């Protein structure tokens, strides 16, 4: 159920109420009885519990094998120095 935050227009008291979405909003302040308004909030945060949650935690075995192959291959293929006249900005062919 969502948590709604209310603020009293008279005494500036703020309070929270856990309500169903179909429940009618609170209309009066519990401290002074004046009219309250429901505030717009950023919503609830997501809680991740456990050792860790990363995008790579649940990758397929095929993906992991291909990634490992690419990583190992990148270490063996050292880039050779650029040859003169063959740079990206050179348009002569």
Q: Within a domain: residue 17?
A: yes
* Residue 89, in any domain of the structure: no
In this prediction, residue 41 carries a pLDDT of 81
Q: What pLDDT is stored for residue 21 in this prediction? A: 87
82 part of a folded domain: no
Total domain count, the chain: 1
Alpha carbons 37 and 8: distance in angstroms, whole number: 7
- Residue 7, token pair as written in the block: 């603020």
At 83, list the tokens: 């040859």
Q: Residue 66 in 3-state DSSP?
A: helix
Q: Do the domain assignments include residue 19?
A: yes
Q: Do 43 and 3 form a contact (C-beta atoms < 8 A)? A: no
Domain assignment of residue 47, yes or no: no
User: Cα 45 from chain centroid?
Assistant: 9
Q: Residue 21, CB half-sphere, CA atoms under 13 Å: how many?
A: 1
Domain of residue 10: give its range: 3-38
Residue 56 inside a domain? The answer is: no
Backbone angles phi, psi at 9, to 5 degrees: -75, -20
Tens-of-pLDDT digits for all 93 residues of the chain? 788 999 999 999 999 999 998 999 999 999 999 999 999 887 767 766 666 666 666 778 888 888 888 888 776 555 555 555 555 555 554
């Amino acid at each position: 159920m969502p948590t709604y935050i209310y603020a009293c227009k008279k005494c500036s008291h703020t309070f929270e109420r856990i309500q169903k979405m179909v429940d009618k909003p609170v209309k009066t302040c519990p401290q002074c009885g004046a009219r309250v308004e429901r505030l717009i909030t950023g919503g609830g945060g997501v809680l991740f519990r456990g050792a860790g949650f990363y995008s790579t935690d649940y990758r397929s075995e095929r993906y992991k094998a291909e990634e490992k192959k690419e990583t190992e291959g990148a270490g063996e293929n050292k880039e050779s120095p650029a040859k003169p006249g063959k740079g990206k900005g050179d348009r002569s062919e």
